C-alpha cells in the first residue's frame, strides 16, 4: 500500500506535531491500521483512532492501491465522529 501525502496534509501534520507531538509515522500507522474507517463526502474516507482524550482523524481517497492523504486533525469531539456499530 502506497501512501501519498498532499502538500496540505504535510502542513497540517507539522502543525499538529508542534501542538500535540503527532508524527508522520503515527499518521501512516493510523492509515494502515485504523480503529475505524468512516465514509465522508463523495469518495472520501476518514481513518480514525482514539488518541489521548480525543480522536485523530485522517481524510484520504483510495486510488487503486494508493491512499492519497488529504488532511488530518485531532479533535476532542469523539462522540460527534465515532460511529458505534450495532
DSSP-derived secondary structure for the chain: -EEEE-HHHHHHHHHHHHHH---HHHHHHHHHS-SEEEE-STT-EEEEEEETTEEEEEEEEEETTEEEEEEEEEES-HHHH-----
CA-nearest of 70, 76, 67 to 19 is 76
Its pTM stands at 0.90
Which class in CATH covers the domain with range 2-79? Answer: alpha beta
Q: Which residues contact 34 (CB under 8 A, 6 or more apart)?
A: 47, 48, 49, 58
pLDDT digits (tens, 9 = 90+) for 7-56: 999 999 999 999 999 999 999 999 999 999 998 877 899 999 999 999 99
Hey, where are the domains in the chain?
2-79
pLDDT digits (tens, 9 = 90+) for 27-38: 999 999 999 999
Amino acid at each position: 500500500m502506497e501512501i501519498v501525502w498532499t502538500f496540505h496534509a504535510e502542513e497540517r501534520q507539522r502543525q499538529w506535531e508542534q501542538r500535540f507531538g503527532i508524527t508522520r509515522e503515527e499518521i501512516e500507522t493510523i492509515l494502515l491500521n485504523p480503529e475505524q474507517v468512516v465514509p465522508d463526502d463523495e469518495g472520501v474516507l476518514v481513518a480514525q483512532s482514539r488518541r489521548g482524550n480525543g480522536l485523530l482523524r485522517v481524510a484520504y481517497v483510495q486510488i487503486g492501491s494508493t491512499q492519497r492523504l488529504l488532511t488530518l486533525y485531532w479533535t476532542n469531539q469523539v462522540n460527534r465522529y465515532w460511529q458505534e456499530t450495532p
